[in-house]
Amino acid sequence: MMKRIGIITSGGDAPGMNAAIRGAARAAIGQGTEVVGFYHGYEGIMNNEILEFESRTVGGIIAQGGTILRTARSKEFRTHEGRAKAVENLRANGVEGLVVIGGDGSLTGAKFLHEDFDYPVMGVPGSIDNDINGTDFSIGFDTAVNGALDAIDRVRDTAYSHERVFVVEVMGRHNGFIALEAGLAGGAEAVIIPEIPFSLLEICDDLRKMHEKGKRSSLIVVAEGALRAVDVRDFIEKHAGYEARYLVLGHMQRGGSPTAFDRVLALQLGAHAANRLISGHRGEMVGVDGTKLVSHPLSYVLSTERQIDPEKLLLVEVMAR
């Protein structure tokens, strides 16, 4: 049983991170373990930006987007010296284990603490990208998808009225999980993602065929990691000859109050992580498998990339007919 644990949020923020902090803090405090937070992720550990928690510290934050602990992408922590300094500070503050809420970069940092310094860590998947192996969902994905979907629904109204093609760019540097989910839910005619090869000429052909069948407006969702929306718009105007507009949703997708799904997921994962850490488990990331809470070694989680379901992309095509 640990006497004192720490919590950080690290990397890109995600709606629901606050609920995860609340879940971890209250689960720990409830069993008599002291909790501290560090501001600005790993950066704050190296700089000793510490905040002593009591139960009230996490009061009223469940509905707030962002993270009360702030976040950062730390360059110094990528070095062995930086990590050594962080472990030294954690130990000097009597912090016996750390809950790391973040995406793959942050979890990689946690894995180094575990493997190189034998420091107890427990990861919580927090990323709008949903690209983390070992969990069906990461915190923030559902909110980001629903935010994108709201924008897509609005854009469809004006696309329909003006009989235009609209290209909506969503986040996802290396993957198309948000694009695919929001595209399917929004009835997009095409979804372009980095994982699966695509041809803009074929998309133009499809647009023409749909036009001939009477479909006068179309919506294309593109993941930022595949192409920029402006380039897709230009290509369509040039090669298909239709009037097109584009919209980049950007960081809007990372903000806002978390959905009920993300809040409950975050509370469960936060509490599960704290409980496991306090009871002696280490070097893992908690997650969900269906409705079941699970936990996997970080080495497994980070060994492969989470794969997109190609059937879902096919479904986009079938639905566009």
Query: Binding residues for ligand F6P, per CB under 6 A?
Result: 12, 103, 127-129, 171-173, 224, 254
d(CA 23, CA 270) in angstroms, rounded, equals: 5
- Residue 212 CB, shortest distance to ligand F6P, in Å, is 36
- Residue 128 CB, shortest distance to ligand F6P, in Å, is 5
Residue 46 or 179: the one with the smaller Cβ distance to ligand F6P is 179
Catalytic residue among 13, 116, 118, 129: 129
- Partnered with residue 295 across adjacent β-strands are 286
Residue 97 or 123: the one with the smaller Cβ distance to ligand F6P is 123
* DSSP per-residue codes, 150-181: HHHHHHHHHHHHHT-EEEEEE--SS--HHHHH
Residue 58 or 128: the one with the smaller Cβ distance to ligand F6P is 128
Residue 36 or 191: the one with the smaller Cβ distance to ligand F6P is 191
129 carries an active-site annotation: yes
Task: Spell out the long-range contacts of 73-81 with Cβ–Cβ below 8 A and sequence spacing 24 or more.
Answer: 73/10, 73/11, 73/12, 73/41, 73/105, 74/10, 74/40, 74/41, 74/42, 74/43, 74/46, 74/109, 76/43, 76/46, 77/41, 77/42, 77/43, 77/46, 77/109, 78/109, 80/116
- Residue 137 CB, shortest distance to ligand F6P, in Å, is 15
- Residue 306 CB, shortest distance to ligand F6P, in Å, is 13
Residues marked active site are found at: 129
